[in-house]
Amino acid sequence: MNVRHIAPIVSSRLTQGTGKQWGKGWVCGSCRSKAQPRAQFSTSRQLSEKPYYITTPIFYVNAAPHVGHFYTMVLTDIHKRWQVLKGKNAILCTGTDEHGMKIQQAAAKANTPPKEFCDLTAETFKSLAKRANLSNDYFVRTTDLDHKEAVQFFWQMLKEREYIYESKHEGWYCVSDETFYPESAIEKRLDPYTGRTFMASSETGKEVEWTSEKNYHFRLSAFKDELLEFYRKNPEFVVPAARMNDVIKQVSEGLEDLSISRPVERLTWGIRVPDDESQTIYVWLDALINYITKAGYPWAPGNEQALGWPADVQVIGKDIVRFHCIYWPAFLLALGIDPPKQILTHAHWTLNHQKMAKSTGNVVNPFFAMDRFGVDVMRYYLAHDGGILNDADYGNHFIVQRYNKGLQGGLGNLVSRVTRPKIWSVSKAVASAHKGLLGAPDEIIEAQIRMLEELPGKADAKMAELNAGAALQTIMEAVYETNKFLAAVAPWSLSKQAIAESDPIAKQELENRVNSTVYHSAEAVRIIGILLQPYMPSKAAQLLDMLGVGDFKRTFNDAVLGGDPSYGAPMTPLGRCAHDGLFPPLAVET
């Protein structure tokens, strides 16, 4: 029998033992007691559009965050800010995953009640988001009441449509990964330190234990064909393409039904199954629903997209692809809910070429890194060197290299060369350009013009591919090219020649060439500064202040050659010398 074609059992009300009303007309208690949230935007056109919605994964609170979590936050934030730069309403949701066996065990080890244990670590992740200058609109916790009610409603809808059944389950369970693994994914391993042999997941290397228990299952096997059809219609659902291919291969080989609850005698810390207090909802079903919790689920008819669902992009690490790219769309398709449009799966950061992991202590404290190098420098480094397909190795010496070459020697040097000299005026060069007084460009200036005309589109194309690192490298290439342009034309020498020139015509030609060079260099700084705002919000704002770019002339639409006729007068001190400007020398040891 094809379970996908079982007619849903529709009951107008299902009454739980607690007195809570379930069914199609169900409204949670907290929602009945307060007005429903509404997206508030500035124009009627914007109100009619679905906001751009992007999420980080919710981070597990069994230990403190490391720089890998920081990278995921920054990568997500860059994509959100890029959409805002382009004039779109955008929503970013992040948060913490606080249920499950690992939390229960970590709290017991700390001799702390689970909720208190979660409160402490969740605050650390909140602090990281704030310190990292994350522009998140929501911070969801799976212990929040609205999330609990959303999960229980989602469960009830799955059960009502007969996608949940009760059965005995036997298999290899990994507490660390919070998942069952098939026999084909298990191997025997040897602990090199103790000599102990143990069974482990071949995928993660984490220890597993044989478990036999009665619990609830989701009919995942019934969704093989529907998932494959969804992937066929949405070939860029998973980025990069190599992981999309892996997902398709895994689903094509067949799916087993998924155990989605645990007996309370084994797992007390979690959301209880509606109508069955003896079972706790599986942490991954619980956790995944967070993405629609803050998008307003369960929705009133017609309001599904008001807070952004379906998500435009969900950003995750490559180690949780199966949960987000197979289980999650299957859960959603079961209830007729659109899956997210794209899932960006990034690679890991390694330290000494070993994966960063809280369990091994091979981690970098992101707060210490920001103390040492600064928030924007770390955001730049992580975006520039972080891997999407391949892992990247973290090192302080790499950060110093990126700073010295790209920020201090590249961008900082360029800003100083354009804005500091007294022998020319940026504002005068801008005014001359908009009055048509620069004269005909020569071959060198024409090349600079072509580069500036192409830069925004090239960067935006990389962002559309969800490759923020490649977009950043495109922007930084414009920094290096403009420094070469300045060196080739040498306007400081031309300016001195103009001062000494007695022939009025020759003098004017030299002045025009100086102004043209200064203008096209200043335009590069202005456009680059605008495009760098999603990456380095504070430093980019400082750069644009130094150049005298008005607050309302900093959008993507302004990042075109000739897009601003009014800048040039600094709105912030340029410093006494280049070394106390935008990127002073690092006062740290490598």
Per-residue pLDDT tens over the stretch 261-311: 999 998 999 999 999 999 999 999 999 999 999 999 999 888 889 999 999
On whether residue 456 sits in a domain, the answer given is yes
On whether residue 94 sits in a domain, the answer given is no
String of DSSP letters for 195-223: --EEEEETTT--B-EEEEEEEEEE-GGGG
By mean pLDDT, which of 67-71, 152-156, 194-198, 392-396 is the weakest? 194-198
CATH of the domain at 526: 1.10.730.10
Place 175 in a pLDDT band, splitting at 50, 70 and 90. Answer: low
Q: What is the mean pLDDT of residues 331-341?
A: 97
Share of the chain above pLDDT 90, in %: 76
Domain residue limits at 429: 395-580
Instruction: List C-alpha distances in Å: 315 to 78, 226, 287.
Output: 11, 23, 15
Q: What is the mean pLDDT of residues 254-267?
A: 93
Instruction: List C-alpha distances in Å: 503 to 202, 490, 491, 492, 509.
Output: 80, 21, 19, 19, 10
Domains identified in the chain, total number = 1
Q: What is the mean pLDDT of residues 388-397?
A: 96
Structural contact between residues 471 and 87, judged by C-beta atoms closer than 8 angstroms:
no
Place 25 in a pLDDT band, splitting at 50, 70 and 90. Answer: very low
On whether residue 291 sits in a domain, the answer given is no
On whether residue 401 sits in a domain, the answer given is yes
DSSP at 183: G
Q: Tell me the pLDDT tens digit for each residue of 340-351.
A: 999 999 999 999
Q: Examine the pLDDT at 369 and tell me if it is beyond 90.
A: yes
Scanning 352-466, the segments in alpha helix (DSSP H) are 366-373, 375-385, 396-402, 413-419, 426-434, 443-464
Q: What is the pLDDT of residue 122?
A: 96
Q: How many CB atoms lie within 10 A of CB 56?
A: 26
On whether residue 317 sits in a domain, the answer given is no
Place 39 in a pLDDT band, splitting at 50, 70 and 90. Answer: very low
Phi and psi based region of residue 506 (left: phi greater than 0; alpha: psi -120 to 50; beta: remaining): alpha
Q: Tell me the pLDDT tens digit for each residue of 211-241.
A: 768 899 999 999 999 999 999 999 999 999 9
Place 44 in a pLDDT band, splitting at 50, 70 and 90. Answer: very low
Q: What is the mean pLDDT of the chain?
A: 89
Q: Tell me the pLDDT tens digit for each residue of 125-149.
A: 999 999 999 999 999 999 999 999 9
Q: What is the pLDDT of residue 8?
A: 36
On whether residue 172 sits in a domain, the answer given is no
Q: Tell me the pLDDT tens digit for each residue of 85-141.
A: 999 999 999 999 999 988 999 899 999 999 999 999 999 999 999 999 999 999 999
Q: Examine the pLDDT at 46 and tell me if it is beyond 50.
A: no
130 closest CA partner among 81, 70, 75: 70
Q: Examine the pLDDT at 33 and tell me if it is beyond 80.
A: no
Q: Examine the pLDDT at 29 and tell me if it is beyond 60.
A: no
| Angle made by CA atoms 270, 173, 139, in degrees to the nearest 5 | 35
Q: pTM for the whole thing?
A: 0.87
Q: Examine the pLDDT at 427 and tell me if it is beyond 70.
A: yes
On whether residue 562 sits in a domain, the answer given is yes
Q: What is the pLDDT of residue 577?
A: 64
On whether residue 37 sits in a domain, the answer given is no
Structural contact between residues 543 and 582, judged by C-beta atoms closer than 8 angstroms:
yes
Q: What is the pLDDT of residue 224?
A: 98
Q: Examine the pLDDT at 191 and tell me if it is beyond 80.
A: no
